[in-house]
Amino acid sequence: MAEMATGGDVPTNNTIYINNLNEKINLNELKKSLKAVFSQFGEILEILAFKTLKHKGQAWVVFEKVKDATAAIEKMQNFPFYDKPMRIQYARTKSDVIAKADGTFVPREKRKRHEEKGRKRKDQHDANQAAMGVNPAYASAYGATPLSSQIPYMGGAKSTLPEAPAPPNNILFVQNIPHETNSMMLQMLFYQYPGFKEVRMIEAKPGIAFIEYGDEMQSTEAMQRLQGFKIKPDHPILITYAKK
């Protein structure tokens, strides 16, 4: 039943386990950036990260659907995140949110490693197995918003901007960015289109950014794909060419 094609030697799971994360980044920002990075693959139920010795530099991202976790592993493996390549695998065990949703959650006791260990392991294993099938309990509980539905496709029609549009440029000018957005989030968004070079945000001017691509064809493609993208609900970004 386990498919081993991706993410190392661990069977598929709703949850991805990420390590080699930059330990200097504070947890809130880290989680926000992870959310920004991985939301493109599907609905995320939860992101967990801890700063304890044993768990720093690691995070768990729980997807509603296993296939989204699979896509995330394939597409984001070794992605340079805060200057370090992410290492991504499936998590070894099912996340509590998932177990709760499919009815297989068994509260775990305080860690005791001296007694009944084998037996508890087996119970956990059985619970995991029991949930491997279809899980209608949570399948419809979350309204995933596919990336495509967030992107108003311009369909070749000229966008009628109030001001004279700038001529094509390999650098894009992005406006209406939520103020809590950081450059890593934007990098994640724009990196997925070919030719991506860099993101530049101006500290003194929140809400805008410049995104550079190798050439105009590439910047144009990215602009069309990400035009109106909502980093935050009811807050579509506006992308134009930067002025030369």
Partner DNA sequence: AGCACA
- Interacting residues with DNA (CB under 7 A): 8, 10, 13, 15, 17, 19-21, 23, 48, 50, 52-58, 60, 62, 89-97
Q: Are 128 and 104 in contact (CB under 8 A)?
A: yes
Q: Which is nearer to DNA, 87 or 200 (CB)?
A: 87
Q: Which is nearer to DNA, 98 or 222 (CB)?
A: 98
What is the rounded distance in angstroms from the CA atom of residue 57 to the CA atom of residue 53? 9
We find the least distance from the C-beta atom of residue 95 to DNA, in angstroms, to be 4
We find the least distance from the C-beta atom of residue 227 to DNA, in angstroms, to be 35
We find the least distance from the C-beta atom of residue 82 to DNA, in angstroms, to be 13
Q: Which amino acid is at 236?
A: P
Q: What φ, ψ does residue 208 adopt, rounded to 5°?
A: -130, 160
Which SS3 state, helix, strand or coil, does residue 10 take?
coil
Q: Which is nearer to DNA, 60 or 191 (CB)?
A: 60
Question: Residue 236 is encoded by which pair of tokens?
Answer: 């579509």
Greatest extent of the chain over all pairs of C-alpha atoms, in Å: 74
We find the least distance from the C-beta atom of residue 231 to DNA, in angstroms, to be 24
**Beta strand pairing status for 205-213 and 84-85?**
unpaired
What is the rounded distance in angstroms from the CA atom of residue 79 to the CA atom of residue 71? 13
We find the least distance from the C-beta atom of residue 7 to DNA, in angstroms, to be 8
Q: Which is nearer to DNA, 52 or 149 (CB)?
A: 52
Which SS3 state, helix, strand or coil, does residue 72 take?
helix
Q: Which is nearer to DNA, 19 or 240 (CB)?
A: 19
